[in-house]
Amino acid sequence: MGILDNKIALVTGGGSGLGRAIVQRFVADGARVGVLELSSGRADELERAFDKEQVCVTVGDVTSPADNQRAVADVMASFGRLDVFVGNAGIYDNRATLAQLPLDKLGFAFDELFGVNVKGYMLGARAALDALRKTRGTILFTASISSYAPGFGGALYITAKHAVAGLTKQLALELAPEICVNAIAPGYIPTQLAGLKALGQGRSTSGPSKERLPLGHVPSPDDYAPFYALLASDQGRVASGAVFPLDHGLAVAGPSFRGWEQFGRAPTT
C-alpha cells in the first residue's frame, strides 16, 4: 500500500520538471492525479504515459480563473472528489537585477511573473477550495530557497517567492482546521524554467555544479517528490503554515559559496 492510496490530487505545471516528478510519485504512491498543463504537447505526453484511470489532464493557463475552475471540474468528473491541490507551475527571471529591468518593461515583467508564480497559486487554491473543504484536504505550494534567502534569483523572482511563503502562512490560518496548507522550498533543481517573455528571456538551464553545493551532489526533481507525497498524505497533517527548506544547505552556505575548497577541505561523500 502507498501513503497516498485513494487520494485524489490536482497538480499545476505537471507536464515537466518537478511537476512531472510529483505526478509520477503521487501515482506510484497510490493517488489519482489531475494535471493543469499549459503545453498541449506535454499534456499529450502525459496522457500517453499514464492510464486515464490514473491521470486526467486539462490544458490551460494557471493565470486564468476559468481554466483553474475547469481543471477542478475535470478532476471531480474523473475521480469524484479532490483531496490535494499542488500549486507548482512557475517561471523565472533569469536573475535580472532591478537595474537590468528596463523601466518601460518592468510593469509587464512584474505582471507576467507574479501572474504565474503568485496569482496562479491563489487562483488554483480558490478554485479547489470548496472541494478541499469537503474532504478536509491539503494545499501544497512550490516555494523556493528564494522564499527566504536573497541571491538565488532576481528582484522579481525573489519577491514573488517571498509572497508564496506569506500566502502559505495566511491560508493556513484562514483555512484551519479543515485544510492544511504548507509549502516546499527546493534549492537548485536541474530543470528548465521559462524566462519572462516581457524581457525576451529564454529558458533558464544553468545552475551550480555539485562542487558548489554543500551536500556535494546535484539533486533531481525525483529527489524532492517524496516530500510532497508525505505532506499530501494523512501523515503530513501534523504540519500547517510551514515552509519546508529542501535546499541541500545552500541557504546556510549562501550564494557566495564557492565549494568546500574555500574552507580547506573537500566534501565528504
pLDDT tens for each residue of 77-120? 999 999 999 999 999 999 999 999 999 999 999 999 999 999 99
**Pairing relation of β-strands 243-246 and 84-87?**
unpaired
Q: Cell for 93?
A: 527571471
Report the distance separating Cα 37 and Cα 108, nearest Å.
Answer: 23
Residue 222 has pLDDT above 70, yes or no: yes
Average pLDDT over residues 25-40: 98
Q: Are 177 and 238 in contact (CB under 8 A)?
A: no
Helix (H, G, I), strand (E, B) or coil at 61: coil
Report the distance separating Cα 260 and Cα 268, nearest Å.
Answer: 10
The mean pLDDT value of the chain amounts to 91
Is the pTM higher than 0.85? The answer reads yes
Report the distance separating Cα 193 and Cα 103, nearest Å.
Answer: 24
Of 30, 28, 24, nearest to 8 by C-alpha is 30
Q: Are 203 and 195 in contact (CB under 8 A)?
A: yes
**Pairing relation of β-strands 180-186 and 8-12?**
unpaired
One-letter amino acid at 259 equals G
Whether the upstream peptide bond of residue 245 has omega within 30° of 0, thus cis, is: no
One-letter amino acid at 219 equals P
pLDDT of residue 248: 81
Q: How many helices (H) and strands (E) does the chain have?
A: 8, 7
48-57, 167-176, 192-201 — which is least confidently predicted?
Answer: 192-201
Provide the sign of the torsion angle of the four alpha carbons 105, 66, 46, 187, taken in this order. positive
Q: Are 229 and 173 in contact (CB under 8 A)?
A: no
pLDDT of residue 210: 63
**Pairing relation of β-strands 32-37 and 243-246?**
unpaired
One-letter amino acid at 20 equals R
Report the distance separating Cα 150 and Cα 114, nearest Å.
Answer: 17
DSSP letters spanning 69-116 = HHHHHHHHHHHS---EEEE------TT--GGGS-HHHHHHHHHHHHII
* Residue 185 vs residue 253, higher pLDDT: 185
User: Is there a catalytic annotation at residue 157?
Assistant: yes
Residue 182's H or E segment, with its range, is strand 180-186
Domains of the chain (ranges; CATH) run: 8-263 (3.40.50.720)
39-48, 85-94, 148-157, 191-200 — which is least confidently predicted?
Answer: 191-200
Residue 31 has pLDDT above 90, yes or no: yes
Exactly one of 92, 121, 148, 157 is catalytic; name it.
157
